[in-house]
């Protein structure tokens, strides 16, 4: 039986990959880093490349290990990336760089049904990230799962324009997208068109999934990176929304008729002596364990109360350096198997 089986964001979780900060470093500066991770710098030389502060790495790893232990205590199978040396420089005909940390498995791999899809991420430093998961994916393949990879992008200099407005910094010259640009809602998937998700990436994903699925573009809502600090489907008919980005006007059609939770601005738990990577809205980045249980930061008391008012319990946890490493609970995990079947939850077209 396939070890991979995921149809939505909320079915009961049975197996998950949790990321790691071991060996974490800021990759070498280049046009891809300037366009996606450091839009506020004027030159690649201004990017603070090299190992992260050891204290931050250790503290973050302790919290990731605690998350893994909490999930295991619920009977969930937890897997981890293989250790690798992030200082090793890899090359293509167009560029050379070292590696992004393996803290966010959500970004590079999309599980849909019984299939693992390696996505064509636009950061050069994530080109070889699959190596940390290859033995796992071979195990999944042996179990009967499908394993495919999107076309590998060139990521040449002319793909990137760091000086362009947000949402236009990665040109639509080839399919590029992060898996974290996608939300699964049964036969419907949302795809955020943004700096981390091109129109050609959307077209490739739709053509690959075929007529059984409909990939809905989300435009003019949030143009930076990733969708999971904007929309969080909690169960059929209930969705958590970023109240500063989403309105009744730009709400995706798949959520029409659903109950809406308008998340209040999260508390900023980021250590003041660290450069933040991402906004405070990582505080609404949740991992659903089941339709009535999620993992959330215990310090987000307002959000916890909003969830509990809708019958959703919270497994309390902490990711103190979520903005340091650019990932909340959804980001630092990849759901591999959820107990459920493929259904259609909306009649939207």
Q: Which domains are seen in the chain, by residue range?
A: 13-338 (3.75.10.10)
Backbone angles phi, psi at 64, to 5 degrees: -65, -40
Q: Is 59 helix (H, G, I), strand (E, B) or coil?
A: helix
State pLDDT tens for residues 308-321.
999 999 999 999 99
H/E element, 301: helix 301-309
State pLDDT tens for residues 126-152.
999 999 999 999 999 999 999 999 999
Which of 174-183, 215-224, 263-272 reaches the highest mean pLDDT? 174-183
State pLDDT tens for residues 201-237.
999 999 999 999 999 999 989 998 999 999 999 999 9
H/E element, 302: helix 301-309
pLDDT at 347: 56
pTM of the predicted model as reported, rounded to 2 decimal places: 0.96
Is 331 labeled as catalytic in the residue annotation? Answer: yes
**Mean pLDDT score across all residues of the chain:** 96
Residues in the chain: 349
Of 19, 12, 70, 16, residue with least CA distance to 315: 70
Q: How far apart are the C-alpha atoms of 63 and 52, rounded to whole Å? A: 16
Of 63, 68, 83, residue with least CA distance to 15: 68
Q: How far apart are the C-alpha atoms of 227 and 245, rounded to whole Å? A: 11
- Given a cut of 60, is residue 348 above it in pLDDT? no
Q: Is 285 helix (H, G, I), strand (E, B) or coil?
A: coil
Q: 107 falls in which pLDDT band (50, 70, 90)?
A: very high
pLDDT at 349: 38
Active-site choice (11, 188, 216, 331): 331
Active-site choice (86, 216, 226, 330): 226
Which has more confidence, 108 or 278? 108
pLDDT at 272: 76
DSSP secondary structure, 72-129, as one string: HHTT-EEE-PPP--TT--EE-SS-EE----TT-TTTTEEEEBTEEEE---S-GGGTTG
State pLDDT tens for residues 22-52.
999 999 999 999 999 998 899 999 999 999 9
Determine the Cα angle at 276 with ends 264 and 167, to 5°.
Answer: 75
- Given a cut of 60, is residue 262 above it in pLDDT? yes
Active-site choice (178, 188, 195, 335): 178
């Amino acid at each position: 039986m396939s070890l991979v089986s995921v149809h939505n964001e909320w079915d009961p979780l049975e197996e998950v990959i949790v990321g790691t900060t071991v060996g974490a470093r800021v990759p070498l500066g280049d046009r891809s880093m300037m366009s996606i991770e450091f839009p506020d710098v004027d030159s690649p030389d201004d990017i603070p490349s090299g190992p992260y502060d050891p204290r931050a790495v250790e503290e973050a790893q302790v919290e990731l290990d605690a998350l893994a232990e909490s999930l295991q205590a619920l009977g969930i199978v937890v897997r981890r990336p293989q250790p690798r040396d992030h200082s090793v420089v890899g090359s293509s005909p167009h560029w050379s760089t070292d590696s992004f940390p393996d803290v966010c498995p959500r970004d590079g791999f999309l599980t849909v049904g019984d299939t693992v899809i390696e996505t064509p991420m636009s950061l050069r430093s994530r080109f070889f990230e699959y190596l940390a998961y290859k033995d796992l994916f071979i195990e999944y393949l042996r179990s009967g799962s499908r394993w495919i990879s999107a076309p590998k992008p060139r990521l040449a200099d002319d793909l990137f324009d760091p000086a362009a407005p947000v949402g236009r910094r990665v040109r639509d010259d080839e399919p590029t997208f992060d898996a974290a640009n996608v939300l699964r809602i049964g036969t419907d998937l949302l795809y955020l068109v943004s700096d981390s998700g091109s129109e050609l990436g959307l077209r490739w994903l739709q053509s690959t999934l075929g007529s059984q699925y409909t990939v809905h573009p989300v435009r003019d809502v949030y143009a930076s990176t990733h969708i999971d600090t904007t929309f969080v489907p909690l169960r059929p008919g209930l969705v958590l929304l970023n109240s500063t980005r989403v309105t009744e006007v730009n709400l995706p059609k798949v959520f029409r008729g659903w109950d809406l939770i308008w998340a209040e601005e999260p508390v900023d738990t980021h250590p003041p002596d660290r450069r933040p990577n991402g906004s405070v809205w990582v505080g609404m980045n949740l991992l659903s364990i089941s339709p009535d249980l999620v993992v959330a930061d215990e310090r987000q008391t307002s959000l916890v109360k909003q969830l509990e008012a809708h019958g959703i319990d919270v497994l309390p946890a902490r990711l103190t350096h979520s903005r340091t490493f650019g990932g909340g609970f959804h980001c630092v995990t990849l759901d591999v198997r959820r107990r459920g079947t493929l259904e259609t939850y909306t009649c939207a077209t």
